[in-house]
């Protein structure tokens, strides 16, 4: 921890070495976050780059009230949301009425992270963003609605839709796996 404090202090003084150390420490984790909010590796790298530039620009404002990891993640998520916002504007999210709840939850325990990531990336942009914010980051629908300037109902229905698509995909994969090993 003292080392992290030193690195933060170095970054606050504009020391390039410290900035690189901070990047090394958090870039892999943040790349995984960026990937969840993007459609491709290239887009994720753009988000990561833009996010880290913002981090270094604003690190002087970091007061240590939360952990540096959490603070960095918040910035990366905000950057990702800004990236997706234009797409959300082009394809406005609407309430999804007919989401059936009949599909039972399937386990993702056996699924590799990369595969799960791909499934999330394949979701429609609106669903993808809301699913990430709700299911992974743990935000409430009220908070998500405020963040994305949408109705709470829209957030809920988009999440339900995302979950439905995921379940269907998992089910397909499960069937395909079973057939393959029979």
Partner 1 sequence: MKDFNKDNFNDSIRSKFASAEVQPGNNVWEGIEAELLKQDNRSMHKKAAFYRNLAAAVIFIALISIYFNLQDFTFNKDQNSTLAPIEIEDQNDQTFLSDNDVIMAQPKAQGYNDNVDNFSGGTSENSTVAFVGNSDNEEYKVNEIPAIQDNQDLATVRIVANDNLASSLTKIDNITPDGIELPELNLEVKEVSYFAVSNLDKSKDKSGIAWNTNVNIGSGNFNPNSEITETPIFSTVSTLNNPGTAGRTTGEDASFNNNQEREAVEDLSSAPMQGNLSFTFGLNFGIILNEKWNIKSGIQYGAYRSSSLSSTVVRDRNSDRLYPYHGASSSTEISDGKVVNAISEYELYNDFQIVTIPLMTSYKVIDRKFDVSLVAGLSADFIIRNTLKGSSDQINELKFDQNDKQSYKNIFASSIAGIEVSYPFADKYAISVMPTYKRALSNVTTENATFNSMPAFVGLNMSLAYMF
The residues that touch partner 1, with contacts defined as CB under 8 A, are: 14, 16, 19-20, 23, 27-29, 31-32, 35-36, 41, 44-45, 48-49, 52-53, 56-57, 99, 101, 105-109, 111, 113, 116-117, 134-136, 138, 156-157, 159-160, 163
Please, what is the minimum distance in Å from the beta carbon of residue 156 to partner 1? 6
Selection from 83, 54, 86, 55 nearest residue 68 by Cα: 55
- Run of H or E residues at 32: helix 16-36
Query: Tokens 């590799």 belong to which residue?
Result: 112
Q: For residues 52 and 71, which CB has a smaller minimum distance to partner 1 in the complex?
A: 52
CB of 24 to partner 1, least distance (A): 9
- Of the pair 69, 177, the CB lying nearest partner 1 is at 69
Nearer to partner 1, 71 or 164 (CB): 164
Q: For residue 49, which of 79, 74, 19 has the smallest C-alpha distance?
A: 79
Residue 122 beta carbon to partner 1: minimum distance, rounded to whole angstroms: 15
- The answer to whether the beta carbons of residues 98 and 92 sit under 8 Å apart is no
C-beta of 14 vs 177, nearer to partner 1 = 14
Question: Which residue number, 32 or 88, has a Cβ lying nearer to partner 1?
Answer: 32
Identify the helix (H) or strand (E) that includes residue 115: helix 113-121
Q: How far is the CB of 158 from partner 1 (least distance, A)?
A: 12
User: For the stretch 42-56, what's the b/e string if a residue is b when 16 or more beta carbons lie within 10 angstroms of its beta carbon?
Assistant: ebbebbbebbbebbb
- C-alpha distance from residue 71 to each of 56, 61, 130, 140 (Å): 12, 11, 20, 19
**How near is the Cβ of 172 to partner 1 at its closest, in Å?**
17
């Amino acid at each position: 921890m003292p080392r992290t404090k030193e690195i933060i202090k170095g970054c606050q003084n504009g020391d390039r070495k410290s900035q690189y150390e901070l990047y090394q420490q958090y870039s892999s984790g943040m790349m995984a976050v960026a990937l969840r909010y993007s459609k491709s590796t290239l887009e994720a790298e753009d988000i990561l780059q833009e996010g880290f530039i913002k981090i270094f620009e604003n690190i002087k404002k970091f007061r240590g009230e939360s952990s540096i990891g959490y603070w960095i993640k918040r910035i990366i998520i905000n950057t990702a949301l800004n990236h997706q916002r234009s797409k959300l504007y082009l394809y406005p999210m609407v309430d999804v009425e007919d989401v059936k709840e009949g599909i039972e939850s399937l386990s993702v325990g056996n699924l590799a992270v990369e595969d799960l990531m791909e499934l999330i990336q394949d979701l429609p942009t609106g669903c993808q963003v809301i699913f990430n914010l709700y299911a992974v980051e743990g935000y409430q629908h009220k908070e998500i609605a405020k963040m994305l300037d949408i109705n709470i109902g829209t957030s809920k229905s988009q999440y339900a839709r995302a979950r439905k698509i995921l379940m269907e995909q998992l089910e397909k994969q499960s069937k395909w796996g079973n057939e393959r090993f029979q």
